[in-house]
């Protein structure tokens, strides 16, 4: 007698990026404390979202071009959000903090007391 074998697909689809969370991030950025006079963009990337904005302070880009502000990646195994800040001198992303929920990560990004994101 033959027996049936259930096979599970080992590849799991990414839950992020998705349009719903991208819009949530865009709405949340309206409550940020710094550089409220520029309009940041939320760009999707594999596993998350990259936030970029015109550099109105001229600290990073003397011409006022668009610079990276933050990277939000979702860890599906740990079900946590990783918030990265950009080191503009080296061009590398550095882990700033991890959060159980997206709103917690966005609050950290929006308050930014040490100006590590909104430079």
Q: What is the pTM of this model?
A: 0.83
The tens-digit pLDDT sequence of the chain (119 residues) is: 455 554 455 555 667 889 999 999 999 999 998 888 889 999 999 999 999 988 766 677 677 788 899 999 999 888 899 999 999 889 999 999 999 999 999 999 999 989 899 88
3-state secondary structure 40-88: CEEEEECCEEEEEEECCCCCCCCCCCEEEEEEEEEECCCCEEEEEEEEC
**What is the spatial order of strands in the sheet that 92-99 belongs to?**
41-45, 48-54, 66-75, 80-87, 92-99
Quick one: pLDDT at residue 2? 54
What pLDDT does residue 61 have?
67
> Do 73 and 47 contact (CB within 8 A), yes or no?
yes
Cβ neighbors of 48 (< 8 A, separation 6 or more) are: 16, 17, 71, 72, 73, 74, 82
What pLDDT, on the 0 to 100 scale, is given for residue 48?
95
CB within 8 A of 40, min separation 6: which ones? 29, 51, 52, 53, 69
Residue (of 117, 113, 110, 107) closest to 55 by Cα position: 117
> What pLDDT does 66 receive?
86
């Amino acid at each position: 007698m033959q027996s049936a074998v259930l096979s599970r697909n080992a590849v799991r689809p990414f839950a992020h990026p998705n349009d719903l969370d991208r819009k949530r991030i865009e709405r949340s950025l309206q409550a940020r404390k710094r550089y409220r006079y520029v309009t940041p963009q939320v760009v999707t990337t594999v596993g998350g979202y990259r936030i970029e904005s015109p550099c109105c302070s001229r600290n990073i880009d003397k011409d006022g071009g668009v610079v990276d502000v933050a990277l939000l990646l979702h860890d599906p195994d740990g079900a946590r959000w990783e918030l990265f800040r950009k080191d503009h001198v080296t061009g590398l992303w550095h882990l700033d903090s991890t959060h159980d929920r997206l709103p917690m990560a966005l609050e950290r990004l929006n308050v930014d007391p040490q100006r590590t994101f909104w430079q």
